[in-house]
Amino acid sequence: MRISQINNPVEVLSKGGVVYVALSGDILTYNSESALKKIADIVQKSGQQIKFMPDGLGSWDSSLILLIYEAVRIAKDKGVETDLSKLPKNLQDLVKMAFEVDRKPEHKSATGGGFLETVGRIVVNLCSVISNFFNFLGAVTLGIGRFLSFRSIMRRIDFCAALDDCGPKALAIVSLISFLVGLILAFVGAVQLQIFGAQIYVASLVTVGMCRIMGAIMVGIIMAGRTGSAYAATIGTMQVNEELDALQTMGLSQIDFLVMPRLLALILAMPILTMLADFMGMLGGGFVGVFIMGLPYQEYWKFAINAFTLNNFLVGIFHGFCFGIIIAMCGCYSGLTCGRNADSVGVATTSSVVNAIVWMIVITGIITVICQEIGV
């Protein structure tokens, strides 16, 4: 059957229960509302099949694809067959592709399956995460070996940029937070020490607390939220933009190119920032002791210096060194394992901060127990 129309490029006819959609001429920016309404009315009454007849079809654009897509969707809703066999092959492929896209994906229930199935799924996922992390840890270890043997492809400019970001640019926030923490620590200690008339020991309390653990912890939390999340977001965005795939295609090591500059920068910057945090915390405690409690500043600094021992100082610096490794590893790992969409970048950023803080607390407990056992 040959159907052609000159005035209207899309004509809908019905014959013997078959709806014929004739396509002729150029179909560009076509408003298919009236044609689709006519197709729906005919199918509703007596239509048993829809056939597309592209006799004399000229140039066409996406408006024709939309017309065919909506017509096929109407047919599916009414249980009517459609015949696209006479359409050009490329047009058939585009319509088929349009129906393959899941516009309303179903959310699978997380509560499905029995207890054993749920436990098994959790264990399998946990084993997969542990395996991936150890693979990443091994790759970083090999990267450190290449760096020490001068075979790494790490660029100096990347290292300097990472060091500038986690070093000088972090001084202000670290100084402010550490000063306030020392101030709060002095206030809390003074409330109890005033009961026994031992306010002067506020200096010892703040100095030991900041130098041994509090300074490093505060710097670690700040840098996990500020720098670790930035690492995860930056590398995760590169994953979304397929830049990581490009690096792999060019034969460049992702560990050397992306992880090593950030890892080395944090390892170098964290102990220095920890020393700054110790000093600013002691300064905050001195502000409370001298200007609020009225203690003589000579006596305050005398007790502070007496409490400042090398052991406490080195323990705090070691904490900062360990925290730098943890923050860089968590941030880079979350970025490299990020998904391919914008939501995955947010998830990676959040997980990097959470994992870094959790592991810092765990490492702090381990180091504290070891120091207690060896008497440091």
pLDDT greater than 90 at residue 357: yes
pLDDT tens for residues 80-129?
A: 888 888 888 888 888 888 777 555 555 555 555 678 888 888 899 889 88
Contacts of residue 168, Cβ cutoff 8 Å, sequence gap at least 6: none
Confidence band of 1 (pLDDT split at 50, 70, 90):
very low
The continuous run of DSSP H or E covering 373 comes out as helix 342-374
pLDDT greater than 70 at residue 277: yes
Interval 239-262 mean pLDDT? 89
Query: What class, spelled out in words, does domain 10-100 have in CATH?
Result: alpha beta
Indicate the pairing of strand 25-27 with strand 10-15.
Answer: unpaired
pLDDT number for residue 363: 94
pLDDT number for residue 148: 92
Global pTM value? 0.69
233 near 337, Cβ under 8 Å?
A: no
Portion of the chain with pLDDT greater than 70, in percent? 94
pLDDT number for residue 6: 44
Portion of the chain with pLDDT greater than 90, in percent? 40
pLDDT tens for residues 214-228?
A: 999 999 999 999 999
Confidence band of 194 (pLDDT split at 50, 70, 90):
confident
Q: Mean of the per-residue pLDDT values for the chain?
A: 86
pLDDT greater than 70 at residue 185: yes
39 near 12, Cβ under 8 Å?
A: yes
Give φ, ψ of 23 to 5 degrees: -120, 120
Sheet holding 49-53, edge to edge: 10-15, 18-23, 49-53, 81-83
**Residue count of the chain:** 376
3-state secondary structure of 233: helix
pLDDT number for residue 2: 42
And the tokens for 109? 């229930």
| Tokens 């933009």 -> residue | 241
pLDDT number for residue 115: 82
Identify the residue with better confidence: 273 or 23: 273
Interval 152-177 mean pLDDT? 92
**C-alpha–C-alpha distance, residues 244 and 232, integer Å:** 13
Confidence band of 308 (pLDDT split at 50, 70, 90):
confident
**C-alpha–C-alpha distance, residues 337 and 104, integer Å:** 26
Quick one: which of 142, 178, 166 has its CA closest to 327? Answer: 166
pLDDT tens for residues 53-76?
A: 888 888 888 888 888 888 888 888
The continuous run of DSSP H or E covering 97 comes out as helix 89-100
Confidence band of 51 (pLDDT split at 50, 70, 90):
confident
CA-to-CA separations, 97 to 59, 61, 66, 92, 295, in angstroms, rounded: 20, 16, 12, 9, 79
Domain boundaries, the chain: 10-100, 135-374
